[in-house]
């Protein structure tokens, strides 16, 4: 991947300037340095909570930041095989930066506390478990005064969103630096496109289109639980399949397209209408629809159309587009990176109408988001993406709920919805019952649009 330092530095300064990060209100809470910290040096220690693919990827990017010493010192997960696989992968690629002996690899629902207890204020914890646990882990990180990187989505329902907004205020008051894994906002190509759109190059945006249409993705399509596995561990292992754990495939996957479109518009939708369905389900027992179609409406009446599908053998597309009164733009057209941003003079998006395109050598936004976070920590600059991450999560859940209920759902409806999908997630242990129960046939409740209309199932 291309990672020119000078491009990354320009992007960091532009990002901080353009997004207007919230100002800090007080200094970090003082705490005694644990035994694993090198005294009187500037090493940033990192703990990884949630050792799946995304957590491992985030830790890899963290260890590649080269503006000062950084070291992984603790890991936690509920699955030993995931932790061990993650450790092997990280240690093989970063031997000098990975110092996690077996006694600092924690298994269990309380492992997050043990991993964070290794750190001091100024260090970083990566929160990459299923989103249902985000507010629980973030609460403890705030108590410890730690900087945080958390994966998206950061919430899955109304109650957890309200909790996270309160926690966001507390983290700002403690001058915590917090990154949220909506890495497209750190993409230098998208940043320039954003500036050009805001500068009026395509006129006023009247329509945006977003697509994530592929085959089965992640653990969204789940088969029945094996007899030798607990219900709770099965659901966490297949977290994309269950709304309580992740918001389902809709929230976990479609949030990127939604967020990048809202960024270009510099607005959040006020309502959503949606539809979707389950097709050719076979032996799958998850709660997801196979296709989703949502019409989001902004305050000014402009629209964003979202199409999601996870069905093999169908047209595939992973892209977002904007249409304005003077022209149109490609926001992304090749998954997350490279974005291949373009502006066209008309609406056809033909080569003859091409007005601008970003050069092909794009720095990787997964790395840039870490460069920006660690730079803000070392330079003690205001940096907190939580409120924006919550809003993106609420807007995403708004479209999901509209599809699952068959009703028009407003932003306020979603934020104030009282259906908490996992109300006692903070009390779970390895022996706990799962938040969702299967029926006698091993199947789970699924959305019934038009029948169940005030909650999703």
Spell out, as residue ranges, where the chain has pLDDT lower than 50.
Answer: 1-39
**How many helices (H) and strands (E) would you count in the chain?**
13, 15
Classify 118 as helix, strand or coil: coil
Residue 272: inside a domain, yes or no? no
Question: Alpha helix locations (H) across 326-364?
Answer: none
Residue 75: inside a domain, yes or no? yes
Can you give the pLDDT at residue 189? 98
Residue 161: inside a domain, yes or no? yes
Residue 135: inside a domain, yes or no? yes
The enclosing domain of 377 has a CATH number of 3.40.50.720
Residue 162: inside a domain, yes or no? yes
Number of domains in the chain: 1
Residue 70: inside a domain, yes or no? yes
Can you give the pLDDT at residue 93? 83
Classify 91 as helix, strand or coil: helix
Residue 71: inside a domain, yes or no? yes
List, edge to edge, every strand of the sheet that includes 44-49.
Answer: 105-107, 70-77, 44-49, 124-127, 147-150, 178-180
Q: Which residues contact 376 (CB under 8 A, 6 or more apart)?
A: 16, 21, 177, 382, 383
For the residues of 391-409, what is the DSSP string, one character each?
HHHHHHHHHHHHHHHSS-E
Residue 316: inside a domain, yes or no? no
List, in sequence order, every residue forming a beta bridge with 212; answer none if it has no partner: 308, 318
pLDDT tens figures, 213-226: 999 899 999 999 99
Domain holding 145, by residue range, is 5-184+366-384
């Amino acid at each position: 991947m291309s990672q020119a330092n000078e491009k990354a530095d320009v992007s960091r300064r532009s990002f901080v300037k353009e997004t207007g990060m919230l100002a800090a209100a007080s200094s970090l809470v003082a705490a005694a340095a644990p035994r694993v910290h090198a005294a009187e040096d500037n090493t940033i220690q990192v703990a990884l909570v949630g050792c799946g693919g995304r957590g491992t990827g985030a830790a890899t990017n963290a260890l590649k930041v080269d503006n000062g010493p950084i070291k992984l010192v603790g890991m936690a997960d509920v699955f030993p095989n995931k932790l061990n696989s993650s450790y092997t992968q990280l240690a093989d690629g970063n031997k000098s930066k990975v110092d996690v002996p077996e006694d600092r690899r924690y298994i269990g629902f309380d492992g997050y506390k043990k991993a964070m207890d290794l750190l001091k204020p100024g260090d970083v914890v990566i929160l990459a478990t299923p989103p249902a646990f985000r507010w629980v882990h973030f609460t403890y990180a705030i108590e410890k005064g730690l900087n945080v990187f958390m994966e998206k989505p950061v919430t899955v329902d109304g109650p957890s969103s309200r909790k996270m907004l309160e926690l966001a205020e507390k983290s700002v008051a403690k001058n915590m630096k917090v990154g949220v894994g909506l890495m497209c906002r750190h993409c230098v190509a998208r940043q320039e496109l954003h500036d050009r759109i805001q500068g009026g190059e395509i006129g006023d945006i009247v329509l945006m289109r977003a697509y994530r249409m592929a085959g089965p993705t992640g653990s969204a399509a789940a088969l029945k639980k094996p007899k030798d596995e607990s219900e709770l561990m099965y659901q966490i292992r297949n977290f994309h399949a269950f709304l309580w754990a992740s918001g389902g495939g809709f929230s976990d996957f479609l949030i990127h397209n939604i967020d990048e479109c809202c960024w270009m518009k510099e607005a959040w939708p006020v309502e959503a209408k949606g539809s979707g369905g389950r097709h050719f389900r076979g032996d799958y027992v998850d709660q997801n629809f196979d296709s989703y179609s949502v019409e989001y409406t902004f305050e000014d009446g402009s629209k964003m159309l979202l199409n999601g599908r996870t069905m093999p053998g169908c047209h595939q597309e992973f892209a977002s587009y904007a249409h304005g009164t003077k022209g149109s733009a490609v926001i992304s057209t090749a998954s997350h990176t490279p974005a291949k941003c373009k502006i066209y003079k008309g609406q056809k998006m033909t080569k003859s109408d091409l007005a601008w395109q970003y050069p092909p050598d794009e720095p990787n936004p997964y790395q840039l988001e870490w460069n920006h976070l660690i730079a803000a920590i070392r330079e003690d600059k205001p940096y907190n993406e939580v409120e924006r991450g919550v809003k993106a999560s609420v807007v995403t859940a708004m479209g999901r709920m509209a599809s699952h209920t068959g009703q028009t759902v407003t932003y306020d409806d979603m934020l104030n919805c009282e259906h908490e999908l996992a109300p006692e997630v903070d009390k779970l242990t390895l022996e706990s019952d799962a938040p969702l129960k299967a029926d006698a046939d091993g199947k789970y409740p699924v959305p019934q649009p038009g029948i169940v209309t005030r909650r999703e199932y």
